[in-house]
Structure 1
Amino acid sequence: MAFSLDSIAQALGARLEGDAALQITGASEPALCGAQDLALAMDPKYAEGLPKGKAQAAILWDGADWQGLNLKAALFVGRPRLAMAHLSKIFDPGPQIAPGIHPSAVVDPSARIGPGAAIGPLTVIGVNARIGANARIVGQATIAEEAVIGDDALICSGVRIGARVRIGDRVILQPGVALGGDGFAFVTPEKSSVEQVRETLGDRVEVSNAAWTRLHSLGTVEIGDDVEIGANSTVDRGTIRATKIGRGTKIDNLVQVGHNVEIGEDCMLCGLVGVAGSTRIGNRVVLAGQVGVNDNIFIGDDVVAGGASKIFTNVPAGRVILGYPAIKMTTHNEIYKALRRLPRILRDVSALKKAVSLPDQSN
């Protein structure tokens, strides 16, 4: 589908100069552009590729001489990455799902399907499940009994939604997401080695009966509006109460959210993050890739945790942390600088020891 450059400018809130009627069918790196592609050259270093491509229009940086770059038109934006987000939405049609219910789908008669919903092939929808208006469910998804999916949701292929899970409006679940599996909760007849280590911070005694007994998960999962969850991520149901993810939170691929966890609004959890059970996370928290979070702790609003940090204790609001164990990022950086100087310090100490131990040669 083609869009006029003028309509794209309005969608991006961009300033347009040149031929507003140009028809644009896609976006591309400058060197790879076809005649109807919009070149993405928001930085001077990217403009070097414009002569190699065929672009007639581009998104440029403020002050760029678009006519000198042999373009017919140009767009100028204040925040390039935000403009990219809006532009990608224009040209992304999303998965193609035929309207209505595919003949191969298995939908329980008691399930309620909202107007405009599209149910793809080999999807299974259980007893008393509710699917919102205009929801799109790609093939081979499974939606268990009494689950609720909000309006305009997108459920991609292979998603597994457990019993009584509640999902808000405009939620996006990428392929392989699993919501509402049992939490990882087990108990032993006597105090387990884990309990002993937790109490003593290292010491332990022998356990005569260490057989694990499963705690069944009676709670569920509640997902707020406008949440997105990446491919093959999992959210466990709560033991008694629900595991909750707040409105607007974005979760990357391969993230594990344990039972009873509560995550606030507009958080971002990057790839391979693991959050252990019963932890509470505030609003607008960012956990970078491979961050690990201990169980039964609290992370305050606006915390930012750097990649591979391991968070073992409560974190106050607004703190920036890094490391293993996670501490203030400024403190971590000081420690790391000192660690790099350690070999030289040890050499200096060794030289001083030798000097002190030598006999006095002055007599």
Structure 2
Amino acid sequence: MTLQELIEELGGNLVQGDPEWMVEGVNAPEKATAFDLAFADSDAAVTAAFASNAGVVVLKPGAVKEYPRGKCIIESDQPKLWFAKAARLAKKHIHIAGIAHSAVVAPDAKVDPGVVVGPCAVIGSHVTIGDGTLIDAGVVLGDGVKIGEHCHIHPRVVIYPGTTIGTRVVVHAGAVLGADGFGYVRDSVTGEHTQFPQQGTLTIEDDVEIGANSTIDRGALEATRIRRGVKIDNLVHVGHNCDIGENVILVALTGISGSCTVGKGAVLAGQVGMGDHAHVGPGVILGGQSGVFSGKTITNDGRRPGTVMFGTPARPLKQVLREQAVLSKLANEARPVGKDKTPEGGDGPG
């Protein structure tokens, strides 16, 4: 793409250079070529980018007073974000639309002519796939699945019947979407467990990314919903009937039980666990290995934005650190003389 095309899509201001300069990709300064874009969001990064071979540098307005000759300079209030979006636009797609000979596609499936279907993929009855979507090798789409435009479903993904996926969604290898939720009714007499009906749906909205080997269950009687812009890491599980709000981040090994909600913009770090019917409010940040008990609600009400919650049960990190300091002090005071420390006046061994 040309710089002018990128600016028309992303905004920004070209303060030096040729608007017709071709951008073939993005790169780190030390690896960049004349047709690569680099970004700089600090003084050190500016120095590195200007000393590199990168033909284009994006940085904050007023970051420097003079620009080196021979480089195209773009100013943006958020250079790292501009760089990330430019990377997606400049990325070359070499896939040729069409259906592999070994793929199995139901006669009544509606596959847009601009779709790529890889080897050994299975497309069920009444499936709909929008223009520009890539279905990689070994993907299985159950009956009635709907996938929007410009999605990328990586190899060996399994999407259960009735699941709906929006536009520009990326699902990485091995993910399973729309499986039955883990819901059972126990017979109080015999102790046997009978599955509660798992006949709801799963909806993945636009611009969602789902990591490798993650799983999201469909609703029991209603719907599980992953809202626009959610980013899910590898090995995450979201249970049935959950509602994950816009632009939420779920980091690896997070587990969310059934009927939970996570508010817009919240961040759940690695190995966070939520019990069933728990609620995390908008903008809440849960540190790694934090826990939310079943039925409990965690919010930022009365706290400063950006407050990190930590521990089980999750509470403000500063509170946890104070508690640990007190416990450590108590433990030291209770340590028996002669066990872990030398009595006063003693010279110790030897």
Q: Give secondary structure in 2 for the equivalent of 1:74.
A: strand
* Preserved CA contact (<8 Å) 2:37 2:83: no
* Preserved CA contact (<8 Å) 1:157 1:174: yes
User: Structure 1 residue 332 and structure 2 residue 314: aligned?
Assistant: no
Question: Distance in 2 between the 1:167 and 1:72 partners?
Answer: 42
Question: Distance in 1 between the 2:53 and 2:183 partners?
Answer: 59
Describe the shift of the 1:128–1:6 C-alpha distance in structure 2 as closer, same or farther (beyond 3 A).
closer
1:173 offset after TM fit, Å? 1.4
Aligned to 1:268: 249
Equivalent residue for 2:261, pick from 280, 287, 291: 280
* Preserved CA contact (<8 Å) 2:98 2:115: yes
Aligned to 2:92: 93
Describe the shift of the 1:248–1:24 C-alpha distance in structure 2 as closer, same or farther (beyond 3 A).
closer
TM-score of the aligned structures, taking structure 2 as reference length? 0.82
TM-score of the aligned structures, taking structure 1 as reference length? 0.79
Q: Which has the larger radius of gyration?
A: 1
Question: Distance in 2 between the 1:81 and 1:41 partners?
Answer: 7
* Preserved CA contact (<8 Å) 1:97 1:138: no
1:77 offset after TM fit, Å? 1.9
1:257 offset after TM fit, Å? 0.6
Aligned to 1:124: 122
Describe the shift of the 1:92–1:22 C-alpha distance in structure 2 as closer, same or farther (beyond 3 A).
closer
1:71 offset after TM fit, Å? 4.7
Aligned to 1:79: 78
* Preserved CA contact (<8 Å) 2:39 2:80: no
> Which letter does structure 2 place at the counterpart of 1:88?
A
What percentage of residue pairs aligned between the two structures are identical? 34
1:295 offset after TM fit, Å? 0.8
Describe the shift of the 1:51–1:13 C-alpha distance in structure 2 as closer, same or farther (beyond 3 A).
closer
* Preserved CA contact (<8 Å) 2:114 2:132: yes
Aligned to 1:64: 64
Is the helix fraction higher in 1 or 2? 1
Equivalent residue for 1:147, pick from 139, 145, 165: 145
Aligned to 2:347: none
Q: Give secondary structure in 1 for the equivalent of 2:297.
A: coil
Q: Give secondary structure in 1 for the equivalent of 2:85.
A: helix
Query: Structure 1: which 5+ residue stretches go unaligned?
Result: 192-208, 351-363
* Preserved CA contact (<8 Å) 1:38 1:57: yes
1:227 offset after TM fit, Å? 2.2
Describe the shift of the 1:240–1:72 C-alpha distance in structure 2 as closer, same or farther (beyond 3 A).
closer
Equivalent residue for 1:185, pick from 183, 186, 190: 183
How many residue pairs get aligned? The number is 328
> Which letter does structure 2 place at the counterpart of 1:136?
L
Query: Structure 2: which 5+ residue stretches go unaligned?
Result: 302-306, 338-350
Question: Distance in 1 between the 2:322 and 2:233 partners?
Answer: 30
Write out aligned runs for 1:173-322 (5 A): 173-190=171-188, 210-312=191-293, 313-318=295-300, 320=307, 321-322=309-310
Aligned to 2:104: 106
> Which letter does structure 1 place at the counterpart of 2:296?
N
1:292 offset after TM fit, Å? 0.8
Describe the shift of the 1:48–1:272 C-alpha distance in structure 2 as closer, same or farther (beyond 3 A).
same
Aligned residues: CA RMSD: 2.8
Q: Relative to structure 2, which stretch is displaced further, 72-81 or 270-279?
A: 72-81
